[in-house]
Structures are given as structure tokens and as C-alpha cells.
Amino acid sequence: MSHIGVTISSVSDWSTATSTLTETPMFAIYLTVTLLASALNGAAAIANLVGHDYPKTEADRNRVPRSWVRPLGMLLGAGALGLLAGFVVPVVGTLAAAGLVLYFLGALGAHVWAGNFRLGAWALFFGLALAALTVNLAYHPIAYR
């Protein structure tokens, strides 16, 4: 029996169609947050690795040796690439996001230790790392059971 072009037998497929529709906004949020976090951390990594003045100035302000700027840039780059790898291997993306959260908690410690309370950029990067971790855990809950 059909009703407006939908057969009764296909009504059982509505649950699949509905679950796909409800997952679409979550996927969009996951994709947007992850790409944004990856792009900004990747840009920061490049700035550190090429020797841009901004990371050097921040290192001086926070009493971090300049010799640490490149290794810290490599950590940022690893986090950015790990977030992208998470699209293929979800646990890698989650671990990368968790690593970035820890990285920025360490950065907060360096800021506080040095008495540098200019935390605008830190808040942006930490918030994005935390958001990336949150959406990774929310979008891939099966992987962590």
C-alpha cells in the first residue's frame, strides 16, 4: 500500500533517514571546529618553525628559552596534523586534541610563572583545542567504549 509515493515497507527506513539527518549538524560542527583548530595551530607551527618574530617575542615575554621555539612549533604542527589524521583514524584526532589541550595548559603555566597575563591569543587557542577535543569525543563515542 502506498501513500503519497511512500510504501509501507519503506517506513521502516525512516529511522535510518532520520538518524542520518540528525547526525548532519554534528558532523558539520565536528568538521568546522577540527579544521579551524588545525588551520590555526598549523599557522602557529609554521610561524615558530620559520623563526617569525611573534613566537620569539612571546618566548621572551614568558621567559622561555628561544631554543625551545622550534620544538614547540613541532608540537603544534604534530597537533594540527593529528587533528586532520583524526578524520581517518578517530582516536588519533582525539589524542591530538588532548595533546593540544595539555600543550596550552603548559603555556598558561609559563604565562603565569612569568607574570604575563596577556592571555587573549592563549584563550583563543586553548578554547579551540578544548572544542576540538569535545567534538571529537562527541562525534566518535563508539570508539571509546
Give strand pairing partners of 21.
Answer: none
pLDDT at 144: 62
User: What is the reported pTM?
Assistant: 0.81
**Could you give the percent of the chain with pLDDT greater than 90?**
78
pLDDT of 44 above 80: yes
Mean pLDDT of the chain: 87
The per-residue pLDDT for 31 is 95
22 pLDDT exceeds 70? no
Read off the DSSP letter of residue 56: H
113 vs 19, residue with greater confidence: 113
Q: Residue 73 in contact with residue 45, Cβ under 8 Å?
A: yes
Q: How big is the chain by its Cα radius of gyration, in Å?
A: 21
* From 7-21, 34-48, 56-70, the region with the lowest mean pLDDT: 7-21
Report whether pLDDT(1) > 60.
Answer: no
Residues 6+ apart with CB under 8 A from 94: 86, 133, 136, 137, 140, 143, 144
* CB distance 70 to 123 below 8 Å: no
Q: Does position 94 have pLDDT exceeding 90, yes or no?
A: yes
- Cα–Cα–Cα angle for 136, 137, 138, rounded to 5 degrees: 90
Cell numbers given for 73: 612549533
- Using DSSP, state whether 138 is helix, strand or coil: helix
The answer to whether the beta carbons of residues 137 and 53 sit under 8 Å apart is no
